[in-house]
Amino acid sequence: MSTYVLVPGACHGGWCFASLTTPLRRLGHDVHPITLTGLAANQSAAGVNLETHIADVLGLLSDEQIEDAVLVGHSYGGVVITGVADRAPDRVRSLVYLDAFVPADGESCWTLTNDEQRAWYTSVDETGFGTRPLPFFDPRAKPHPLATLLQPIRLTGTLDRFARRDYVYAERWAGESPFTPTLERLRDDPQWNVHTLDGGHNLMRDVPADVLKILQAATG
């Protein structure tokens, strides 16, 4: 049995992993899809930054006494799992980035993405704290705390300490994918297992069976 911690992308909650959570549990694994602070019903994006979300996942690892997590981050969630792995490497077995950012020290979603995505980030809601969900998002999507997308991550080490790292790239973007530079940086690195899938950014919805295979292999 393996333990998976699933961290969603911007505007989404743990519900976005339903297509993976159920089959993984049927296979006998322990699965924890998390909804980060500010993204649950009746919560506000005010006062929430990247450190808040890293602390959310660190708290889950501690509360559930998880010692060998397979951390899975979708999109923005890649920044969160990078921070978690840096703070608690002894609790992490491997890392899976689903069409996600893989930041180095001092980088942020803002510095890693393209101009189209930056324009979206700054299309804030009436509070000024939240990036609006895009029109095609699930109705459950909520404004995402803008500060989490702007705040640079602070890391004390690199990901080299983790023997298993998977990067999964979505081939079907309507226009320029903000994750192409990350793919190009990692695809020839022998320390990474790089996969390209014939699906859109929401890989969990488009190609869940392919993602499930990758997650199972990521346990090492």
State the catalytic residues.
75
* CA atoms 149, 98, 106, 175: torsion sign: negative
Structure tokens at 18: 């339903």
Decide if 31 contacts 21 (C-beta within 8 A). yes
Ranges of H-type helices in 91-207: 109-112, 115-121, 146-150, 180-186, 203-206
Q: How far, in Å, CA of 76 to CA of 7, rounded?
A: 9
Helix (H, G, I), strand (E, B) or coil at 62: helix
The two three-digit tokens of residue 211, written as one number:
């993602």
Which residues partner with 193 through β-bridges? 166
Cβ atoms 163, 136 nearer than 8 A: no
How far apart are alpha carbons 55 and 151 in whole angstroms? Answer: 14
164, β-bridge pairs: 94
